[in-house]
Amino acid sequence: MKAHEGIYIDGAWRPAAGQDVIEVVNPVDEQVIGTVPAGTALDVDTAVRAARTAFPGWAATPPAERAARLAALRDVLVARKDEIAETVTAELGSPLPFSQAVHAAVPIAVAASYAELAAVHPFEEKAGTSTVLLEPIGVVGAITPWNYPLHQVVAKVAPALAAGCTVVLKPAEDTPLVARLFAEAVHAAGVPAGVFNLVTGLGPVAGQALAEHPGVDLVSFTGSTAVGRRIGAVAGGALKKVALELGGKSANVILPSADLARAVNVGVANVMSNSGQTCSAWTRMLVHRDRYDEAVELAAAAAAKYGDRIGPLVNAAQQARVRGYIDKGVAEGARLVAGGSEPPRERGYHVSPTVFADVTPEMTIAQEEIFGPVLSILRYTDEDDALRIANGTVYGLAGAVWAGEDAEAVAFARRMETGQVDINGGRFNPVAPFGGYKQSGVGRELGVHGLAEYLQTKSLQF
């Protein structure tokens, strides 16, 4: 157990205003592994002032120099990648190989992409006879969740710094240690004092203070739809810009011409990965009625293989929530073909990889985000039926389409109300814009589209 001291403000670790701390728990054995300060509104105010003071200087720093700092940041993250993976494993509970391959490697790829983009992005364009300047929006309040704890931090901070914005980050209370490591990396990369600030704390205290602070120009939030809605209302009321990455209930549409075994196996892996704690997970598998029974058998067999390979959920509340959804699925008449709500181990916040068959579109488990290793398999009769089911939730974050030919899958994907679709398996692309249609969010992260969120335009007429 280590008591981690201080919050990172204006280029230094300083004591928080109050004495309260947050306990960090290892979800595998439920042991407290450390504490961090629970920052308050006073700490947030100090951090926002530092960010405001640093803003004019950073905004005026040539993009090439900002790019150089981001390249240095990427290099520090690369040098500390093992420590990043170990830290995420300790506070999130994900197996170490997954932490290395995803929780450490993906943020490094994203930091690298913004180091490159900042160097080449045209921060000036022409519109007829006018010159349009793309200027940083100001001070960013970033509020992040625990499920991809470093990725979600880098996906906000890297484009914000590339754009010339300054940042105050409030990371999730469950995963503050990797956020502290990130602050050390920013410091080591030579980013000037005040450009990046970290206040660990509780959502309704530090998070809310940050979202409400009049010195914040843009609130960028990733997390639950419930909190996102409140933040959107608060920020909208203050006429601040807001970016929201919220929940999902994404559809994995397997068309009749698809390679069924491949589509089902990749689909199950997609849901079980990170113990199902992925906002873009393909939690609804849509299969034609003629191939339905075969798909259910394949999925149950695939899920059984994941038994010991996935980690626990992040905390007891998430475990209880996911178990409650599994019970609800059974109560509403879905057929359990793998897993169930009984925890597979006594210690740790584990939930078994679970697959439901005979799920109908109006069931709770087909409509609400569960955020655990739970797959629902739905039956469709024809393509229009599949589309109606795929588009039949309030969400629209991601999805997948499988078909014999890419063109057939693309034609279907064009009709989907969702922000990202993987065609026949796809491939992770750190510069592809990511974000939601409908209630999955507002705005986009990653790549040029992610950078644009942090810029505002000024046009000069001659």
Q: How many CB atoms lie under 10 A from the CB of residue 106?
A: 17
User: What binding mask, one character per residue, do residues 316-345 give for ligand NAP by CB under 6 A, x or -?
Assistant: --x--x------------------------
User: What binding mask, one character per residue, do residues 262-281 give for ligand NAP by CB under 6 A, x or -?
Assistant: -----------------x--
CA 316 centroid distance within chain: 20
* Contacts (Cβ under 8 Å, ≥6 apart) of 128: none
Q: How many CB atoms lie under 10 A from the CB of residue 311?
A: 22
In angstroms, give the least distance from the CB of 432 to ligand NAP: 17
* Alpha carbons 323 and 344: distance in angstroms, whole number: 12
* Alpha carbons 440 and 457: distance in angstroms, whole number: 26
111 binds ligand NAP (CB under 6 A): no
Q: Which is nearer to ligand NAP, 66 or 170 (CB)?
A: 170
Q: Which secondary-structure segment (H or E) carries 401?
A: strand 399-402
125 carries an active-site annotation: no
Catalytic residue among 86, 173, 245, 453: 245
* Alpha carbons 396 and 440: distance in angstroms, whole number: 6
434 binds ligand NAP (CB under 6 A): no
Chosen residue from 93, 247, 373, 450 binding ligand NAP by CB under 6 A: 247
Q: Which is nearer to ligand NAP, 67 or 421 (CB)?
A: 421
User: What binding mask, one character per residue, do residues 291-320 give for ligand NAP by CB under 6 A, x or -?
Assistant: ---------------------------x--
Q: Which is nearer to ligand NAP, 349 or 412 (CB)?
A: 349
What DSSP letter does each residue of 223-271 carry, written as one string? S-HHHHHHHHHHHHHTT-EEEEE-----EEEE-TTS-HHHHHHHHHHHH
In angstroms, give the least distance from the CB of 173 to ligand NAP: 3
445 binds ligand NAP (CB under 6 A): no
Chosen residue from 58, 325, 371, 395 binding ligand NAP by CB under 6 A: 371
* Alpha carbons 75 and 221: distance in angstroms, whole number: 26
202 binds ligand NAP (CB under 6 A): yes
Identify which of 306, 364, 358, 308 has the alpha carbon closest to the alpha carbon of residue 334: 358
Helices (H) and strands (E) in the chain, counts: 16, 21
Reduced to 3 states (helix: H, G, I; strand: E, B; else coil), residue 23 is: strand
Chosen residue from 141, 149, 207, 447 binding ligand NAP by CB under 6 A: 207
* Alpha carbons 68 and 192: distance in angstroms, whole number: 12
- DSSP letter at 124 equals E
203 binds ligand NAP (CB under 6 A): yes
User: What binding mask, one character per residue, do residues 123-162 give for ligand NAP by CB under 6 A, x or -?
Assistant: --------------------xxxxx---------------
Provide the residue count of the chain: 462
204 binds ligand NAP (CB under 6 A): yes
Which residues here bind ligand NAP, judged by CB under 6 A? 143-147, 170, 172-174, 202-204, 207-208, 211, 222-224, 227, 230-231, 245-247, 279, 318, 321, 369, 371
What residues are labeled active site?
A: 245
